[in-house]
Amino acid sequence: MKKSLLGFVACCFVVFAGAFALAQQDDSKKLSVFHAGSLSKAMADIGKAFTAETGTPVALVGSGSGSLRQRIEKSERPGVFASADMENPAVLASKGLADAPVPFTRNVLCVLAKKSVGITKANLVAKLSDPSVKLGTSTPVLDPGGDYAWKMFDMADALKPGAAATLKAKAIKLVGDPALAMPPKEYPRSQIAWHIEEGRADVFLVYLTTARLAVAELPGLEIIELPKELAVGAQYGLTVVTGAKPEAAQFKAFVLGPKGQAILEGYGFQKP
């Protein structure tokens, strides 16, 4: 009886060890791709299409581009880094940690707001400055979305002196930092929608692609384009990390090619 039990335990151990080794082997075959959080849905589709075409599985990690750049600087080595700006991948390239980045798509900043706030292009700065309006943004440095918002705040000074200081002081950084609160796993909508539903923000400065998804998720929201004098565009940069496997260059070529570009444009991104 004791021998049978020992044999059973040994057998289970061998099966577990084999499964663990197989899982490790499978993970080693995956191409790791770090990408800006605003690319999450598009990158999921690009990853599937790339795998279908090449047979190479893709492991996606989405977050603020600044925080992802810091992770690479510390020691992590994905194959590809798709950033919501050109600066973060350029910093890696300057340190010999990645190739020189190439632009692969564009986005624009806009205002996502509850219709009840009553924002228009004409009253935008005044409404955003209103102490009763909760203004949500991403986190500067850790996420280019926050940097773009701060750039818009600086531009607002030309329309209303002192606006930049007011807006930066009242802005509530709700996304872009991995340490910030995230919606429960069972929550069916986006992080932006969650913050608005929870009452943390009445208005968000976000990418147009992100705003379109939120409007589809939540009734009562609207998108207000920034007036020409406040317009802020976002050029996204793609780079292969130093030491990456050959599949990384293939993935880069796929994103820049017609299939990758068609997927990005389908989500509202613009040509680079």
Residue labelled with tokens 């798509």: 105
CB 64 within 8 A of CB 110: no
Q: Is the same domain home to 66 and 132?
A: no
Cα 265 from Cα 175, distance rounded (Å): 24
Q: Is residue 271 part of a domain?
A: no
Length of the chain: 272
Q: Is the same domain home to 61 and 157?
A: no
Mean pLDDT of 188-215: 96
DSSP state of 100: P
**Nearest CA among 46, 80, 50 for reference residue 65:** 80
CATH number of the structural domain spanning residue 18: 3.40.190.10
Q: Is the same domain home to 137 and 177?
A: yes
Residue type at position 151: K
pLDDT on residue 28: 74
Q: Does pLDDT of 123 surpass 50? A: yes
pLDDT on residue 29: 85
pLDDT on residue 35: 98
Report pTM.
0.87
Q: Which residues are CB-contacts of 16 (< 8 A; sequence separation ≥ 6)?
A: none
Dump strand ranges (E) for the chain. 31-36, 58-63, 80-83, 102-114, 135-138, 172-175, 203-207, 221-225, 233-240
Cα 238 from Cα 241, distance rounded (Å): 10
Backbone angles phi, psi at 252, to 5 degrees: -55, -45
Q: Is residue 272 part of a domain?
A: no
Q: Is the same domain home to 229 and 112?
A: yes
Q: Is the alpha carbon torsion for 256, 142, 37, 211 positive or negative?
A: negative
CB 153 within 8 A of CB 168: yes
Q: Is residue 40 part of a domain?
A: yes
pLDDT on residue 214: 95
Q: Is residue 8 part of a domain?
A: yes
Q: Is the same domain home to 13 and 80?
A: yes
Map residue 21 onto helix, strand or coil.
helix
Q: Is residue 53 part of a domain?
A: yes
Q: Is the same domain home to 141 and 214?
A: yes
Residue-number span of the structural domain to which 255 is assigned? 2-105+235-266
Q: Is the same domain home to 166 and 200?
A: yes
Q: Is residue 215 part of a domain?
A: yes
pLDDT on residue 26: 60
- Name the domain count of the chain: 2
Q: Is residue 213 part of a domain?
A: yes
- What value does the mean pLDDT of the chain take? 92
